[in-house]
Amino acid sequence: MTTLPDTRLSMHTPLAVPVAIAGTGLHLPPAVISNQQLTETLDTSDEWIVEHTGIRERRHLSPELAVSDMAVAAAEDAIAASGVRAVDLDAVLIATYTGDQILPSTALMVADRLGARRALPIDITQAACANGLQAMLLAAHLLQSTARTVLVVAADCASRVTDPADRTTRVFFGDAAVAIVLTRGTEPGTGLLSWDFGAELSDSVQIPAGGSRLPASARTVAEGAHYLHMDGRAVWEMATEQLPRSIENAVRRAGSTVNSVDHFFLHQANLRIVTAAMDRIAVSMDRAPVTVDRLGNTGSAGAFTALHTLMSQGRIHSGDTFVLSAIGAGFQWGTLYMRHP
């Protein structure tokens, strides 16, 4: 039997064209849902939620709005920050597991509203909270060929797919959208330096087939079977094992070490998961900004909310390195290791 060589490391050679983040945008629904509000309908307490999740509040999208509305709002801010024109976008990638509908794609709807008439619209939908990382990796590779400017939007409305009577999911999730404009960079040694992705089949997180994509106003009690189901213990074990491993793999493939990374933008599923992941790689939490406490688990947008926080505050400087790392349903996980130009 012929043994094939392990080519995983050689597959992650630096990209020929640097990739630059030209601008970011964030949209949060105005409705703030506190832990105290949830205790009015769920058998839980503010103390329990904070102790077990670190979450104090989250946002819920108004029933008359959809994920595309959040995506457009975030995209408009990112485009304005980048200085590019929507009409010049070569591709629009929407990372979401709660898109407006099956057809037409959410990306097409967003591109149309932005006026990005010639952009290739692509939905990335099946990796849940890891959708955004897959979209970023695809965008970076599109920029290696004919694309010059790509918009990535990570947006989810988990309030539509969590059972209001189920405390095992309802307390965790919030709604948000983050948009990132990626362009071709000019500085060698910047942009996406390396990456690590993996998957393991599991049914620990799933939304059964059916009307989960419909707006809340269009759903019925009978469709409750289509709510998100999650095995919290399985998620914890997979996240605390695979996130640190994936981060270390990605950084090592770029010839660096985790101690030299300036910022860690991690999956904002649960504060305890973020803390445990940072403990596993022995790096201080002061390098890992946290948004889960005020936003909850925002799905595909999670790690990007932390990225936008520092970008908007001017706290990511030229030459800074950072990782984006998340785990999603499937399970699927991934890490991007980047250097800011």
Residues known to be catalytic: 129, 267, 297
Q: Which amino acid is at 304?
A: F
> Which of 268, 323, 326 shows the shortest CA–CA distance to 293?
268
Residue 243 · residue 281 · CB < 8 Å: no
Cis peptide before 104 (omega within 30 of 0): yes
172: Cα separation from own chain's centroid: 15
